[in-house]
Amino acid sequence: MTSRAETTPRTAKVRDLPVPEWFDMRDHVSGIGAHLAGPANVIMQLSWPGVGHGVMNSRVEDGSAMKHPYKRGRTTFTYLAVALLGDDADRTAFRKEVNRQHAQVYSRPGEKVEYRAMDPRLQTWVAACLYYGTADMIEKMHGPLPDEQADALYLHCARFGTTLQMPAEAWPADRAAFDRYWEDSLAEVDIDPDVAEYLMKLTTLQNFPAPVRLMAPFLVFVTTGFLPPLFRDAMGLSWSRRKQRRFDRLMRVVGAVERRLPRVLRAFPFNLWLADMRLRRRFRRPLV
């Protein structure tokens, strides 16, 4: 059982890792890339049983992706926008609101997997998946970053975790330490049939109206392309060299198009959802 103390939200000010002053995350935010790579990242995050069962069995009905996909999408993109582009006040306020939701998510007696959404260890894994996906998306669309830029991006992406409950010191010290953490963490990947079925419903857009589901085959293709082989195999998704070549060509084209866009369009809709969140704060409306 989870005690009341374990589920009481903490509202302390968010702590960050130091990021070089010259680094500007706005140069690396990609709305197009986030929409394409996002579903694969969800699969990666939920591949840890504690995260997968916590999301699938959450009692926070108004945050359910199956029942309220548009609201869940808005909340997710707002969290990413706040973590990547928000200031200290934005992230402290948003963390407080998310805590109220997460405090309600914990396993009950009889469930086959124990979980607690406020668990910093699970949140570190979620943050690691988001960083891995961000770096991977950038490389697939634009090529690898120079080491100095890649190091700064890595430190900045600790905010994926510190905007939640992950303490800053839990983030691996540098990219080499992250690689070791990542390899060790892959041993805990275990997608059971229930979670796999839930994830495929999301990936094939079963939570959306019929017209939107016409995009499902394309989304499954792109999602499979973004998944590393371990996760692809765990989901039972097939892949081939021919599909890999098609995927690589698609990423090159998308990257070339994005590089020609002004930064404000590249960052869309992250900039929109950050502005929306700030308006909600100003007028004392719910943030999630």
pLDDT in tens, 68-99: 888 889 999 999 999 999 999 999 999 999 98
The average pLDDT across 41-52 equals 96
Backbone angles phi, psi at 116, to 5 degrees: -155, 115
pLDDT at 36 over 50: yes
- The average confidence (pLDDT) of the chain is 91
Please confirm whether the linkage preceding 269 is cis (ω < 30° from 0).
Answer: yes
Please say whether the beta carbons of 175 and 150 come within 8 A. Answer: yes
CA nearest neighbour of 44 among 160, 159, 214 = 160
Q: How many residues comprise the chain? A: 288
pTM: 0.92
Give the separation between CA 248 and CA 149, rounded to whole angstroms: 23
Which pLDDT does position 10 carry in this prediction? 47
Residues above pLDDT 70, as percent of the chain? 94
pLDDT at 4 over 50: no
Cβ neighbours of 220 (radius 10 Å) = 16
Alpha helices in the chain (DSSP H): 4-7, 31-46, 49-56, 69-85, 88-102, 120-142, 147-156, 159-162, 175-185, 193-203, 210-213, 216-226, 229-234, 241-259, 263-266, 270-282
List, for residues 260-283, the tens digit of each pLDDT value: 999 999 999 999 999 999 999 999
Which pLDDT does position 3 carry in this prediction? 37
Please confirm whether the linkage preceding 39 is cis (ω < 30° from 0).
Answer: no
Q: 186 vs 8, 180, 200, CA distance in Å? A: 30, 10, 21
Which pLDDT does position 112 carry in this prediction? 87
List, for residues 152-207, the tens digit of each pLDDT value: 999 999 999 999 889 999 999 999 999 999 999 999 999 999 999 999 999 999 99
pLDDT at 65 over 90: no
Which pLDDT does position 51 carry in this prediction? 95
Which pLDDT does position 100 carry in this prediction? 87
List, for residues 128-155, the tens digit of each pLDDT value: 999 999 999 999 999 999 999 999 999 9
Give the separation between CA 166 and CA 247, rounded to whole angstroms: 34
Q: Which two tokens stand for residue 167?
A: 């303490």
Which pLDDT does position 265 carry in this prediction? 96
Give the separation between CA 109 and CA 210, rounded to whole angstroms: 37
Q: 139 vs 30, 33, 40, 276, CA distance in Å? A: 12, 11, 16, 30
Q: Which two tokens stand for residue 80?
A: 């990413």
**Residue ranges of the domains in the chain?**
26-282
